[in-house]
Structure formats: C-alpha cells, structure tokens
Amino acid sequence: MVEQDWLSARFAEHKSRLHAVAYRMLGSPSDAEDAVQEAWLRVSRADTGQVENPAGWLTTIVARVCLNMLEARKARREDPTGTLPPEPTAPHMPAQPSGQAAGPEDQTLLADSVGIALMVVLDTLTPAERLAFVLHDIFALSFAEIGAIIDRSPAAARQLASRARNRIRGAADASDAARSQKREIVEAFLAAARSADFTALLELLDPDAVAIQLRGANEVAAFFAGRAQAARLALVDGTPAAVWSQRGRPKALFTFTVRDDKITRIAVDTDPDRLSALDVVFLSARDKDLR
C-alpha cells in the first residue's frame, strides 16, 4: 500500500507534463489522455524498486505508449488528425541538459513548438522521428534516453531528431514565405480600396472572386472601391487579414483566400464571440519584420 501511494503521488505530480508529452506526440487531446491512462496501468503494475528518477521513468513509459500508438496509426494508414483543437496550456519546459546549451535555431524551434502549425508538420514525420524531435527539442531528453526508448543508439536518435528538425524547418520556411506574400497582397488590396483605385483592385482579384454575396472581379472591385477606410492590416491568429475595430475592439474580420497571387475569396465575420477569441496583431508599413 505504501508503494502504491508513492506511485499515485508521483504520477499525479508529473501528470500535467506527461499529458503535454503525449499531446505533442499524438496531436490529439483525447489520444493523449488515452496514452496517459495506459501509462498509469503500466506504472501501477511495475516494480519501482530500481526507480531513481520518477520523472524520467514516467516520461519513458508515456513515450513508449505513444510510439506504439503512432506505429499502429501508421499501420492502419489513418489520415492525420486534421484540424487541431485549441492548444492545451503548456507546462514549464525543462532546461537543456548540462553541456547542451540551445543555440538560436534550437530556441526558434522551441518557441514554435507550442504552435498548432508544428503539430500539422509533425504528422508528416515517421513515429521514430517524431518521438526523437519532441523528446529532445521540446522536452530536453538526452539522446541516450531517447535511444533506449526506441532501441537505437544515441547517435541514431540524434540523426532522427536532426532529420525531423530539417523537415520542420523547411516546412516553416515555406509557410513563412506564403504568409509574407499574402500580406503584400492584402496590404495592396486595402490601399487600392481606400484610394478607389478600381484598376488596381481588378489586378489583385481573380476573375471569379467572391465576396459577401458578390461574384466576379468587377462586382467585388466596385463594392470595395473607396471603402475599407477604417480596416487595418493585421495578423489574425498568425495569418494576414484585415480588421475593423471600434474603441480597440474588433468588430469585423476580413479574411482573404489567395491562389496564384490573386484574391479568390473575401469573407467577413462579425460574430462578437468569435472575434473576441482572436489573437490580433495590427501591422503597419514599418512592421515588415512581423511577416
């Protein structure tokens, strides 16, 4: 009974971090909860006599459960989990192991690790690559510890993490380039609308562009020409858009679909509940570094 009480206390103490590990590994809160529950079943039946580092031991068990789930998912050829729900509150991330100070690129990856976009990229990795990257770059486990989980050498674990990191960085660079290009197009559209430059609007719009209940570049351009005086360029949840606000509160959101450098659709959202939940960063011509 004493040992069981000790196990329960240690598991409760580290449960938040274990759930965070599982979520990063699996990309789904419900799957993460299943993994943590399965880990508890294994922990409750384990011999704890040789356990010197409860946190590391529990993390290893959860990671192995997650690896099994990822491999089973791949074997069933399941589709990626799709659109992810809101990110759970991230626990305090541990410091880098002694002698492995994080460089600028590692810090950038670590900062990006709490984002939804990263979870989408992680779905493109193999289970072993995903585990190596998540446990090392996000949760600072050593390659020796990771190698023991996947039955590979520390050098092999390092190579897996490096391969995953390169693929993630490439996807992030492509995403940044697309976001930068979209910002330029939205910014040009707002400028043309404010100055009633009909010709410039037509150049930015796809011939079959749709906005509100309007269809066709001519109708959309005619509607916006001379308008959008109060709409401001902004990053909305990280994506270039336009926002009309009143007394500092967003009242209308204009989102743009861009394909082949042309605006194909402009959607307007005025729902106050949705608008209040947005992460809005207003931009100006001086904010090029925020793209």
CB distance 267 to 255 below 8 Å: yes
Average pLDDT over residues 54-73: 89
Average pLDDT over residues 149-156: 92
Cα–Cα nearest to 22, from 11, 14, 33: 33
Give the Å distances, CA to CA, from 133 to 39, 88, 205, 212.
Answer: 21, 19, 41, 43
CB distance 221 to 210 below 8 Å: no
pLDDT attached to residue 95: 37
Average pLDDT over residues 200-205: 95
Determine the Cα–Cα distance for residues 218 and 215; give it in Å rounded to an integer: 8
Tell me: pLDDT of 3 over 70. Answer: no
Tell me: pLDDT of 91 over 80. Answer: no
pLDDT attached to residue 247: 77
CB distance 253 to 275 below 8 Å: yes
CB distance 110 to 161 below 8 Å: no
pLDDT tens track for 105-129: 443 343 334 344 566 667 778 899 9
SS (H, E, C) 157-176: HHHHHHHHHHHHHHHHHHHH
CB distance 244 to 188 below 8 Å: no
pLDDT bracket for residue 173 (50, 70, 90): low
Amino acid sitting at position 30:
S
Both tokens assigned to 129: 């690559």
Determine the Cα–Cα distance for residues 140 and 67; give it in Å rounded to an integer: 17
CB distance 243 to 231 below 8 Å: yes
- Look-up of token digits 């991330």: 93
Identity of the highest mean pLDDT range in 175-189, 254-268, 270-284: 254-268
Determine the Cα–Cα distance for residues 214 and 97; give it in Å rounded to an integer: 58
Q: From start to end of the chain, where are the E strands?
A: 205-211, 214-215, 232-236, 239-246, 249-259, 262-269, 280-282
Cα–Cα nearest to 122, from 48, 21, 191, 45: 21
Say whether 245 sits in a helix, a strand or coil: strand
What are the chain's domains? 2-152 (no CATH), 180-290 (3.10.450.50)
Q: What is the DSSP letter of 286?
A: T
Q: From start to end of 41-114, where are the E strands?
A: none
Give the residue ranges of DSSP H helices in 195-235: 198-204, 217-224
Tell me: pLDDT of 288 over 80. Answer: no
